[in-house]
Structure 1
Amino acid sequence: MNNLISVITPAENNEKYINTALESLRNQKYTNFEVLVLHSDIEALKSIVNDEYLNDDRYRFINTPADIYVGATRNIGIEQAKGAYLYFLDSDDYIAENMLQLLHESIGEFPMIRGRMKTTDFSTSSVIILPGTNKIKMYSNRRYNLLRSESAINYLISKNFIDKMNLRFSEQFKTYSDLTFMVPLMEEIDIVPYAEEAIYFRRRGNDPINNPTLRQSSLEQLTPDLFGVYNQLRSDNMSEEGRKYLDDKLLNFYRKRLVSEFRDDTTIDYYFSSLVESINKIDPDRLKNKDFILKNDVKVIKSNNKRRFRKLSNFNHFLRDIKNGITSRRGRKDLIYKRVFNYMKLKDNLVVFESFQGKSYSDSPKYIYEYMLKNKSNYNYVWVMNNSNKIPGNPKTVKRNTLRYYYYIARAKYIVSNVRMPNKYIKRPEQSYLQTWHGTPLKRLAGDMDNVHMPGTNAERYKKNFNRETDKWDYLIAPNQYSADIFRRAFWFNNTMLPTGYPRNDILTNQNDEDTINRLKRINHIPTNKKIILYAPTWRDDEYFKVGKYKFNLKLDLHRMKEQFGDEYIILLRMHYLVASNMDLTGLEDFAYDVSSYSDVSELYLMSDILITDYSSVFFDYANLRRPILFFTYDIEKYQGQLRGFYIDMETELPGPLLMDNNEVMDAIQNIDAVCEKYEDRYNEFYERFCSWDDGRASEKVVDAMFEK
């Protein structure tokens, strides 16, 4: 008797996870299986796969055509499968070691059996085994509940039954194609056993932009696919349960996904005819327990009167905004912003500047503003400032997220910011949004991050919100070609890149003189007769007390430094603004100065003779001064391996030494001239690669590009 199980595993776009999936199969207690690994470039895939799978005859690597959907790939697997049973395993998931054994022992004479799934963030690649009671449930008139995830994974299915029905996945649709396989199965089968303890570990998608799951796919992809699959499957000859399943899926998709997009008349124009075709198939009884708004929407859609539906849709959105405005203060602010301010005329000469979410008057927005103040007399300016601050030119100031704030960002022709705007910001078509960003990237950004370790942050939501933000950027400043290439990819940026260098670095070229440096020291009550060490470490993504409260354990031995270098040096401590803990500088008076709240880090660079940092991007800017840089990287293995990861090789490309403990830091400072000599060639290469665009005219170039146009 053929008891072979054929596991069909498409591997396209999930290559980095394939070994975890294959490992979970190799660990199976039930060993009578074959694995069909499908990919459009098998040789490239084999270079990733571990040798033990390449040398095991049970693992078959099958080449598939490029640019086909996963349904077509699975069909190739079905055609080549030799087993009596089929099992679909996604290559970014894994299964418990008793999975195949339990399903095989429990399927009996039934055509298929389903196992329970668990979604995981996969913070570890180890295979987790959950012991169970091997309890089996039987699904009959509720069998469509097993299709809540619209997926064919985690079913063991008789190959003979599939062949008898001539069942295949639709190759026309990228999403929802599993339904074209599973719904006919559910219609044919009366009872589906369900193994409660057969655990399938499903990876939670964290890349909704480059490699989205079904749920994360764009509306432009999901909508025509769902309409197409629904129209292909929906028939009056179906079981009542099948019709209800498809009708509810369409109605829920309309209410939860499409309705919000119908604020835009062009979206209505694009989808309306397909919506009419599908909605007309819905059983009228399906609406009995639905709310009045949905019933009315369906009625108007069935009338095929697009003009009337557009009016109804606009009215419904207005009612929702009114309801939110009545029930909460935030809702009232949102209502006024969306329904009043965004319909007012833009002020063509108004510019809103924002730096670090209103926390400071600083960074590139500051230098762009000051250039405009001197050279552009026909503009009015608003600065977003959460605390009072004396700003040259006496512009209007507003606190972030206040009603006045939303008034100005709705009416300003120009927005200049160095971080993301609030998610609720609606960029008007006539506005110009300049994103200056705030550093050359060392650590991986947004779309390049595999995991997001910031507390309270969901990776999927983080990337999706980031992508919505970058879609609004008209201009993005790049400090060098290296950054421009990363920004294009990691920010999904397709608009105008400005290859100007950073405006905040203009001061490092134009005011790098003794008079300016001494003036800055006197203003900040810093001795002019001593050299200055600037310590500016980054924050660690995984170090926090709770959401919004970050910590930093100072590893630098300041007391020892004072004892050895106090006669010649002082040290400025520049902690990241997210760090909430206070430093204890008792006994370090006249040696250690906390400058964490100092708004303009470029002025700190000018005053400093040596920079000590770690993974902060500050050294890219500081290198413009050609002064010594030391890297205190005591936790580099953890930071590079577990957290963000780096774009460059720190051991071979940085313009200074990697120092692992205080002894090495002290020795480097003591012998700073020798360090400079040793790293001179690498520093010159680094400068050419990362600093050559900074010529002191970045502000001028940016203003010309954005405002002269």
Structure 2
Amino acid sequence: MYLKHKVFGKLFNIFTKFPINNNLISFIIDSNESFSSNLEYIKNEFESRGDFEFNYYYKDKLSINSLKKLATSRYVFLNDNFFPLAFMKFNNKSTVIQLWHAPGAFKKFGGSVENASMLKLISDNTDYLIITSKYIEDYYAEAFQIDKSKIKVLGLPRADYYFKNHNIENLRQNFNNKYNLESDKKIILYAPTFRENEEYNNVFNYLNADEFNKSLSDDYILALRLHPKIKKFYSSQIGVNGDYIDCSDYQNEQELLLISDILITDYSSIMIEFALLNKPVIFFAYDLDNYMDNERGFYLDYKKDLPGPIVYSTEELVNTIKDGIDTSKLNSFIQTQFDDVDGNSSKRIVDFVLNEGEKNG
């Protein structure tokens, strides 16, 4: 695997001899654009500042023209891991910025759980890592194996979405139309994460949908959004099947968060964005002991630091919803995950990048 990355790096390095285009900005992305939202916000912000050119480099496709543009870009943004970066020697007039696709720090990742040598090489070739709060700086320094001087607390571009004016009523109507719903009941969004231990991935072995609906269906709709890797562990009819709505195919996850009234999750960092909306989160951790013993672990104390109650059974889950969900920890939790909660992350990042560019130019 490393050989492939090294070959890519050597090919890329040929093009760094060409002059830099000061108006060219490249984005490194997957073909499925699974983490594109951060990059789109940055692109829109640059477009509001002047006449820039943009290049999307799809990391799983080899395009010589796009590769040359990547090597001659003034600014390069990425949103996820890109291992060839360990062997890519950018022109010293280029600036490489890692935005990362998730806010805050919840589950351990990267150098916190695995061999860090490759990550260190990648970080050596990265100019800046953008994070959401000073509180999580040590975690990200470890996860990326990056010097703290390169870490900048400027926010998460995609979080700007929640501070724009949205017509919630229209979004909810679109949801109703897609799934053929006539009801305006409140939405409970269940978004479980993937487990390495296959035994625990069929969520309906642990959530009794009949019991859930018997107690709550007068007021609530249960909507399920699955991690892509979980789907093979259960069989479901897409759409309404009488027990819940499978909205795993709903294109805009952030819209779902806006129209949902309650989030049920377990170990997914989706809860950080949902907490930003000041709406209640429940943690349905039916396999917590196994997860803590055998999975990658957490940066926080799972039993003490979460912004909502932890439940372990359908009965507990139902009773917690019926009795009212404790949201008293939401504000203090958000303060650990975000230094600024204002919808101006993209502006701060572009301001910083352009100012640093002037200093280095």
Q: Would the TM-score normalized by the shorter structure come out above 0.5?
A: yes
Structure 1 residue 448 and structure 2 residue 112: aligned?
Answer: yes
Q: 2:297 aligns with which of 624, 640, 645?
A: 645
Contact 2:35 2:80 in 1 (8 A): no
Contact 1:632 1:658 in 2 (8 A): yes
- Aligned partners of 1:696, 1:517: CA distance in 2, in Å? 20
Partner SS for 2:328: helix
Q: In 2, distance between residues paired with 1:543 and 1:641?
A: 15
Answer yes or no: is the 8 Å Cα contact 1:585–1:592 preserved in 2.
no
What is the Cα deviation at residue 570 of structure 1?
2.6
Overall identity of the aligned pairs, in %? 27
Q: 2:52 aligns with which of 354, 379, 383?
A: 379
Q: Is the 8 A contact 1:532 1:610 kept in 2?
A: yes
Match of 2:164 among 504, 510, 523: 510
Mapped partners of 1:464, 1:357: distance in 2:
27
Contact 1:352–1:382, Cα closer than 8 Å, also in 2: yes
How far does residue 658 in structure 1 lie from its aligned partner after superposition? 0.8
RMSD: 3.2
Are the counterparts in 2 of residues 562 and 588 from structure 1 also a CA contact under 8 Å?
A: no
Q: Is 1:556 aligned to 2:207, yes or no? A: yes
**Following the alignment from structure 1 to structure 2, what is the Cα–Cα distance between the partners of residues 570 and 584?**
20
Distance, in Å, in 1 between the alignment partners of 2:208 and 2:109 is: 31
* Conservation of the 8 A alpha-carbon contact between 2:280 and 2:327: no
Where does residue 369 of structure 1 map in the other structure? 43
Is 1:584 paired with 2:248?
no
1:701 aligns to what?
348
User: What does residue 187 of structure 2 align with?
Assistant: 532
Structure 1 residue aligned with 2:337: 690
- Report if aligned partners of 1:505, 1:696 keep a CA contact under 8 Å in 2: yes
**1:357–1:419 Cα contact (<8 Å) kept:** no
Say yes or no: does 1:418 pair with 2:70: no
1:653 maps to a residue whose letter is D
2:269 pairs, out of 617, 629, 637, with 617
Aligned residues: 345
Q: Secondary structure at the match of 2:232?
A: coil
Closer, same or farther: CA 543–567 of 1 in aligned 2, 3 Å? same
Q: Deviations over 1:30-72 (max 9, x none)?
A: xxxxxxxxxxxxxxxxxxxxxxxxxxxxxxxxxxxxxxxxxxx
SS at match of 1:378: coil
Task: Indicate if the aligned counterparts of 2:96 and 2:126 stay in contact, CA closer than 8 A.
Answer: yes
Whether the 8 Å CA contact 1:558–1:588 is kept in 2: the answer is no
Instruction: Return the alpha-carbon distance in structure 1 between the equivalents of residues 69 and 223 of structure 2.
Output: 37
CA distance in 2, matches of 1:703, 1:526: 42
1:664 is aligned to 2:337: no
Partner of 1:360: 34
TM-superposed CA distance for 1:543, in Å, is 4.1
Is 2:68 aligned against 1:407?
yes
Give secondary structure in 1 for the equivalent of 2:68: helix
Taking structure 1 as reference, are residues 633 and 334 closer, same or farther at Cα in structure 2, changes over 3 Å only?
Answer: same
Cα deviation, residue 616, structure 1: 1.1
Q: Following the alignment from structure 2 to structure 1, what is the Cα–Cα distance between the partners of residues 40 and 244?
A: 27
The alignment status of 1:490 with 2:163, answered yes or no, reads: no
Provide the secondary structure at the position in 2 that maps to 1:476.
strand
> Does the aligned pair in 2 maintain the 1:535–1:612 contact within 8 Å?
yes
Q: Deviations over 1:183-219 (max 9, x none)?
A: xxxxxxxxxxxxxxxxxxxxxxxxxxxxxxxxxxxxx
SS in structure 2 of the partner of residue 612 of structure 1: strand
Is 2:179–2:240's contact at 8 Å kept on the other side of the alignment? no
Cα distance between partner residues in 1 of 2:166 and 2:276: 10
CA distance 1:399–1:420, change in 2 (3 Å): closer
8 Å Cα contact 2:284/2:313 also seen in 1: yes
Deviations 1:355-375 (A, max 9, x none): 5675336332222223333x1
Q: Structure 2 stretches of 5 or more lacking a match? A: 357-361
- 2:12 — aligned with what? 337
How far is 1:702 from its partner? 0.7
User: Relative to structure 1, is the Cα distance of residues 619 and 422 closer, same or farther in structure 2, using a 3 angstrom cutoff?
Assistant: same
| Partners of 1:362 and 1:600 within 8 A in 2 | no
Greater Rg over alpha carbons, structure: 1
Aligned with residue 222 of structure 2, among 571, 585, 593 = 571
Paired residue type of 2:63: L
| 1:214-239 residue CA offsets vs partner (Å, 9 max, x unmatched) | xxxxxxxxxxxxxxxxxxxxxxxxxx
How many Å separate the matches in 2 of 1:707 and 1:336?
A: 28
Amino acid at match of 1:553: N
SS in 1 for 2:76: strand
Q: Pairwise mapping of residues 155-170 of structure 1 onto structure 2 (< 5 A)?
A: none
Offset at residue 630 of structure 1 (A): 0.4
Aligned residue type for 2:68: Y
- For 2:76, the aligned partner's letter is I
Q: What residue in structure 2 maps to residue 201 of structure 1? A: none
Q: Which amino acid letter does the alignment assign opposite residue 510 of structure 1?
A: K
Cα separation, partners in 2 of 1:399 and 1:437, compared to 1, 3 Å: closer
- Hey, what's the Cα distance between the residues in 2 that align with 1:493 and 1:419? 15
Kept in 2, the 8 Å contact 1:337–1:406? The answer is yes
C-alpha spacing 1:588/1:519, structure 2 compared with 1 (3 Å): closer
Partner of 1:478: 131
Unaligned runs of 5+ in 1: 1-323, 385-397, 450-458, 545-550
For residue 698 of structure 1, report the CA deviation from its aligned partner.
0.7
For 1:60-99, what aligned pairs fall within 5 Å after superposition?
none
AA in 1 matched with 2:157:
P
Q: Is the 8 A contact 2:9 2:88 kept in 1?
A: no
Letter in 1 for 2:345: A
Q: CA deviation at 1:644?
A: 1.3
Paired AA for residue 111 in structure 2: G
Counterpart in 2 of 1:98? none
1:206-245, aligned counterparts within 5 Å? none
Amino acid at match of 2:69: Y
Write the letter of the residue equivalent to 2:108: R
Alpha-carbon shift at residue 578 of structure 1 (Å)? 4.4
Contact in 2 for aligned 1:537/1:613 (Cα 8 Å): yes
Q: Which has the higher contact order (CA 8 A, sep 6+)?
A: 2
Q: Aligned-pair distance for 1:524?
A: 5.0
**Paired residues of 2:168 and 2:259 also in contact (CA < 8 A):** no
Alpha-carbon shift at residue 687 of structure 1 (Å): 2.8
Q: Secondary structure at the match of 1:532?
A: strand
Taking the aligned partners of 2:89 and 2:251, their CA distance within structure 1 comes to 28
SS in 2 for 1:646: coil
Contact residue 342 and residue 411 of structure 1 kept, 8 A: yes
Cα distance in 1 between the residues matched to 2:327 and 2:224: 26
Q: 1:352 to 1:580 in 2, by over 3 A?
A: farther
Q: CA deviation at 1:558?
A: 3.2
Q: 1:330 to 1:487 in 2, by over 3 A?
A: closer
1:468 aligned residue (92, 99, 121): 121
User: Which residue of structure 1 lines up, in the alignment, with residue 359 of structure 2?
Assistant: none
Amino acid at match of 1:638: N
- Which residue in the other structure is 1:627 paired with? 279
In structure 1, the partner of 2:255 is 603
CA distance in 2 between partners of 1:578 and 1:411 (Å): 37
Q: Is the 8 A contact 1:479 1:694 kept in 2?
A: no
* Distance across 2 between alignment mates of 1:491 and 1:382: 25
Provide closer, same or farther for how the CA distance between residues 561 and 407 of structure 1 changes in structure 2, counting only shifts above 3 A: farther
Give CA deviations for 1:612-649 in whole Å, capped at 9, x if unaligned: 11111111121111111000111111212232122212
How far apart, in 2, do the equivalents of 1:706 and 1:661 lie?
48
Q: 1:410 to 1:634 in 2, by over 3 A?
A: same
Q: Distance in 1 between matches of 2:24 and 2:52?
A: 6
Work out the CA distance in 1 between the residues paired with 2:45 and 2:243. Answer: 35
User: Matched residue of 2:255: which SS?
Assistant: helix
CA spacing shift, 1:418–1:473, aligned 2, 3 Å: same
Per the alignment, do residues 601 and 354 of structure 1 end up closer, same or farther by CA in structure 2, a change over 3 Å counting? farther
In 2, Cα distance between equivalents of 1:352 and 1:522: 38
